[in-house]
Amino acid sequence: MKLVIAEKNIAAQKIAQLLADGKPKADKVYNTQVYRFTVKGEDWVSMGLAGHILAPDFPDEILFDKKTGWYSVSEDGEVLPADVPDGLARPPYATKRKPYLANGINIKGWKVESLPYLTWAPVVKKPAEKEIIRVLKNLAKKADHVIIATDFDREGELIGSDALSCVREVAPDVPTSRARYSALIKGEVTAAFDNLVELDQDLADAGESRQYIDLIWGAVLTRYLTLARFGGFGNVRSAGRVQTPTLALVVERERERMAFVPEDYWQIRGFGAPQDDPDAAFKIGHATTRFTDKTAAETAFAHVEHATTGTITEVAKRSRKQQPPTPFNTTSLQAAAAAEGISPARTMRIAESLYMAGLISYPRVDNTVYPRTLDLKGIVDGLASNNPALRPVCQKVLAGPMKPTRGKTETTDHPPIHPTGQGNPDSLDGGQKKLYMLIARRFLATLMGPATIENTKLAIDVEGEPFTASGDVLVDAGFREAYPYGLKRDEQLPPLEQGDVIDVRDIVLEAKQTEPPARYSQGRLVQEMEKRGLGTKSTRASIIERLYTVKYLKNDPIEPSQLGMAIIDALHTYAPRITTPEMTAELDEDMTHVAEGQDTQDHVVEHSRALLAGLLDTLIEHKDDLGDAIADAVTADARVGACPKCGKDLVMKTSAKTRGSFIGCMGWPECDVTYPVPSGVKVSPLEGDAAVCPECGAPRIKCQPFRQKAYEMCVNPQCPTNFEPDVVVGECKACAEAGRHGELVAHKSEKSGKRFIRCTNYDECGTSYPLPARGKLEATGEVCEHCGAPIVVVETARGPWRICVNMDCPGKEKKATTGRGRGRGRARTKK
């Protein structure tokens, strides 16, 4: 039996389908899915690993023995030597309080004193997927050949190497091979299994080096920042080898914006139009695009302020070629997708799903040059067959000449990201289809000719002052027929000749100021990270996502939070090398040397430990200074306004009991002011006059529901601005059946701000229904034909929404079976 080990279950299933003589049979070993099939009469089985099955970790302790020196003991009893520098204190210690032990140091607990030892602690690999490892070993015992078919990059090679180490524990002599492919399609996979190679251990060691170094730096810096100021609104302060300098880039740009001193300038602009066609108006502007002298601007404006005509003094036309784009690599795909509203992290998740479905090639690549072996014509043929929307442009590409563009980076591991031309994209959801079409259109654009844009520039005399107008027209679409992204709308100027007189109107003098440097978008930050050597094609998106998760970044374009700025400012003061890209790039270069066989994993990891140890002494010395900065920043980030009772800060807090959010006063317990926070929304404070409610003096906040329009509100539920009158929406059906009269009344709680409908006899019948949190409510006087509950109308941003208030209505069950979602919650009836 041949055993195929893929990175994920879906890849194992796909490989089985592509290689099998007939139809693969799904089976289970213990509780793990595997796929059994035959190839030329031989039994095969494929299984997926769910990513990394072994995870690096630290032992609980580092121990010292006078004869053997420093060491640790793994869970299996293996003795692991630890290369702890002689400068660190050895036992016996004057105290036995943790982390100090009679014979060593405890590094499991988070203590500042243990951090220098943690820097040098040995790293052990522990099972992360015990059930999968159990299945892997079970199948390996029965296999006469094992084929590693994980993704071909550092990460995939490491995953395959870890799987192979587990196989060797039970089958040390079984032959092993490596299958490398760039797309999960028939031709690629078949060729890979027909041309098996050896696993690249150097590449795997480079991946493991990164894993170890990121663990060590992340653990030490995160524990340090957390211990520097333990407590507050979310205790753990994340940091890392790549994460910290990436955050520093954003903070540096924000500091540039804050230090920017705007300069005044003036512009004179208006409109012109042919005298025989006043509707064909176009923009005109003074030839001096920016006046830096106000007096000169006012003098020029005085000449033209009341002008009604101008004369064309020159007409210049010039054509320019816009060259087609280069093929997508990971970074350029993330940047292009971000411009279309898909974040880099989401781009990679979607791209992975498209790759697993066999619709695109491997999405983690640096290459921007198509290899000669890639069947470009076959891919275009496939796109034409499977994508009616792309068929016309595909036919133009096939008509030739088909000369692909080339980027600056050429590698031999994977081709640039491209569609496979196979599969049916009609089944894709919104985000998947959007990204797939971006990739498909980019691929077609790289095979097409340049676009031709004609520029027309007019020189105009208006009362002796020189004015200009210009317009661009796409006269030959070229590659733009396939790739319209970022294309500016045509600005067609009317046909005018030298000497023509035009009407001018609405000439104004505008006072403006220069703008500070723009903030990074997520796509631009990915490109900057690549330029500075921060992270890899596989990790950059997840690093940015992590910075958002730990609340160091917010919004897009990206702004650093007060906490993010405080951490970078403090680290820049006491350990500036941590915040610069140079040291991270140096370590990444070391790992590249490992992949190329020019250096060893042990040497590179020890080098990184030495760099970290050199920074840690100064950080520990200034722990309290950094802690104070963090505390102030955390409070600033959480602040939503001033307490109307005592004047202290009102901040966002999390209930230790319910884990829910609320707004509370920093003067607690002396001041007991608290306010509820709407559920399911992202809350941010307002600025200026809008930040204080004019009715009650409490703070006003901005609430951003998921995929809905943001709204502003006062945090005080009892504020008149939040008051809603009770609305009688109908008769209580339960009370009527019991022979009594009860009214169903829509009410908004003054305590919680929640809205609901409740019977006036609630203590007896217990009838209550939830309501949407927002939107004016109107009674219709009608009842639901399915359950007898009242029908109401809720005014939303999209218009009136007519609903039955009973969330358990049988009518809603019928709609759910046709694909519509269930309601917000269930109706409640007191038992």
Active site residues: 362
CB atoms within 10 A of CB 125: 17
Are residues 458 and 496 in contact, defined by beta-carbon separation less than 8 angstroms? yes
Rounded alpha-carbon distances, angstroms, from residue 125 to 148, 218, 240, 609: 20, 17, 20, 18
Phi-psi region of 5 (alpha: psi -120 to 50; beta: other; left: phi over 0): beta
CB atoms within 10 A of CB 721: 14
Peptide bond into 425 cis (omega under 30): no
How far is it, in rounded angstroms, from Cα 508 to Cα 510? Answer: 6
How far is it, in rounded angstroms, from Cα 110 to Cα 98? Answer: 10
Task: Supply 121's token pair.
Answer: 């602690």
Task: Supply 583's token pair.
Answer: 């040291």
Task: Supply 691's token pair.
Answer: 């930040």
How far is it, in rounded angstroms, from Cα 473 to Cα 322? Answer: 12
φ, ψ of residue 436 to 5 degrees: the values are -60, -45
Are residues 443 and 435 in contact, defined by beta-carbon separation less than 8 angstroms? no
Rounded alpha-carbon distances, angstroms, from residue 598 to 54, 202, 212, 412, 584: 26, 9, 19, 19, 19
- Paired with 638 in beta bridges are none
Tabulate helix, strand, coil % of the chain (nearest 5): 35, 25, 40
How far is it, in rounded angstroms, from Cα 15 to Cα 609? Answer: 41
E strands, 163-263, in order: 176-178
How far is it, in rounded angstroms, from Cα 451 to Cα 325? Answer: 11
Strands 145-149 and 176-178: parallel
What is the arrangement of strands in the sheet containing 661-665, beginning at the earlier edge strand? Answer: 639-642, 649-654, 661-665, 674-676
How far is it, in rounded angstroms, from Cα 104 to Cα 73? Answer: 12
Task: Supply 786's token pair.
Answer: 């399915």
How far is it, in rounded angstroms, from Cα 677 to Cα 714? Answer: 10
Q: Any long-range contacts for 604-608 (C-beta under 8 Å, 24+ apart)?
A: 604/209, 604/213, 605/123, 605/209, 605/212, 605/213, 605/216, 606/83, 608/213, 608/216, 608/217, 608/241
Task: Supply 682's token pair.
Answer: 């992202």
How far is it, in rounded angstroms, from Cα 628 to Cα 232? Answer: 12
Task: Supply 107's token pair.
Answer: 């590094």
Q: Any long-range contacts for 78-85 (C-beta under 8 Å, 24+ apart)?
A: 80/122, 80/124, 81/122, 82/120, 82/121, 82/122, 83/120, 83/606, 84/117, 84/120, 85/120, 85/613
Q: Smallest Cα–Cα separation from 321: which of 454, 473, 485?
A: 454
How far is it, in rounded angstroms, from Cα 439 to Cα 444? Answer: 9
How far is it, in rounded angstroms, from Cα 418 to Cα 633? Answer: 45
φ, ψ of residue 34 to 5 degrees: the values are -135, 170
Are residues 674 and 698 in contact, defined by beta-carbon separation less than 8 angstroms? no
- Paired with 39 in beta bridges are 42
